[in-house]
Amino acid sequence: MSDLVPVIRSDAHLAHAGLIELASGVEIPCFESPERMIAIEAALLADGGFAFEEPNQHGRAPILAVHDAEMIEAFEHAWTDAVAAGAADGSRPWLPDTFLLAAYRGPMPASELPAGRHHQLGAYLFDTATPIVAGTWGAALTAVDVAVTAAERVVGGAALAYGLCRPPGHHAARGMLGGYCYFNNAAIVAEWLRREGGARRVAILDIDYHHGNGTQQIFWERGDVLYLSLHADPARAYPYFSGYASEGGAGDGAGLTRNWPLAARAGLDDYAVALAEALRMIVAFAPDAPLVISAGFDTFERDPIGDLALRTQDYREIGRMIAGLRMPTITLQEGGYAIDALGANAVALLTGLRGA
């Protein structure tokens, strides 16, 4: 294949910046930074095999098809309400400090909600690594447009398209933000393929270092979407509360979720065994839509928050293995924080995916 691979990208993510996260009680610069996308774009440009395109606007309908309206509303207004209340002055990111857990209620019925939508956000957030600044809402909306535009390219005939989504998405559940994620770009694309793309069966392959708890939750009971994830064992790794091998979906979705928890320092040999099983499941499921890949490079051997051991050349082999499915493929960017290697890793995966 000699055609250029379409890469959907936007500068809107640059305003989702200056982020901090709380890690084990310590405030640190957020690993999820604009420099990540800048590094990937520079490497794709230098490679020359890619055609950069801006996203089309799709509005809120594709988001509302996946996420709760109440969560969207709290997120949309959290920053301006925080500023209006004097809880943020615009110079620093804002994070809720009070979270609504299921255990809060016990036998009590749902209460009224606080007026400030920044306080409401505590009912829709599960960690302290998902900060909000003035540009966060716009960046998250645009990341969805990036993802859906990549899907449009593939439905329109491209064999492969790459959506440079930032912020990432796979930790965002139907009514919950977290893990640097606000809207679940991959889940939105899968649902869009069902509703707008005429597909009946969609497969999502998640190769980020972390379990995609949000994607799994959204499609847990769905018989029309297969969710397969290779990731660090949640017994030791974020997000801790999902991604175990025992989790397999329920109802119509029974057997259509599958997880491969990986040991620390797992390299390509271990990874390829799990990936081959996942690819066989995709073949058996017989999707009639493009494959959706949640692509994270936090599986890299030098990733600052990961502990797997994939090397740059391994991503090319992983891409080749997936390309063996001979399915049109929508690749969406998730995590990956070793900024100096992100570009090479992305080029390697996409080179493999395009069958080279």
Q: Annotated active-site positions, please?
A: 171
Q: From residue 144 to residue 183, what is the string marking binding to ligand SP5 with x (rule CB under 6 A)?
A: ------------------------x--x-------xxx--
* Of 298 and 314, CB closest to ligand SP5: 298
* Of 179 and 352, CB closest to ligand SP5: 179
> 3-state SS of the chain?
CCCCEEEECCHHHHHCCCCEEEECCEEEECCCCHHHHHHHHHHHHHHCCEEEECCCCCCCHHHHCCCCHHHHHHHHHHHHHHHHCCCCCCCCCECCCCCCCHHHHCCCCCCCCCCCHHHHHHHCECCCCCCECCCHHHHHHHHHHHHHHHHHHHHCCCCEEEECCCCCCCCCECCEEECCECCCHHHHHHHHHHHCCCCCCEEEEECCCCCCHHHHHHHCCCCCEEEEEEEECCCCCCCCCCCCCCCCCCHHHCCCEEEEEECCCCCHHHHHHHHHHHHHHHHHHCCCCCEEEEECCCCECCCCCCCCCECHHHHHHHHHHHHCCCCCEEEEECCCCCHHHHHHHHHHHHHHHCCC
**Interface with ligand SP5 (CB under 6 A), residue from 62, 163, 214, 335:** 335
Q: From residue 269 to residue 308, what is the string marking binding to ligand SP5 with x (rule CB under 6 A)?
A: ---------------------------x-x------x---
**Interface with ligand SP5 (CB under 6 A), residue from 15, 23, 51, 87:** 23
Name which of residues 252 to 311 contact Zn ion (CB under 5 A): 296, 298
Name which of residues 101 to 130 contact ligand SP5 (CB under 6 A): 129
Least Å from the CB of residue 92 to Zn ion: 25
* Of 261 and 335, CB closest to Zn ion: 335
* Of 94 and 180, CB closest to Zn ion: 180
Name which of residues 189 to 228 contact Zn ion (CB under 5 A): 208-210
Chain residues that interact with ligand SP5, rule: CB under 6 A = 23, 129, 168, 171, 179-181, 208, 210, 238, 296, 298, 305, 334-335
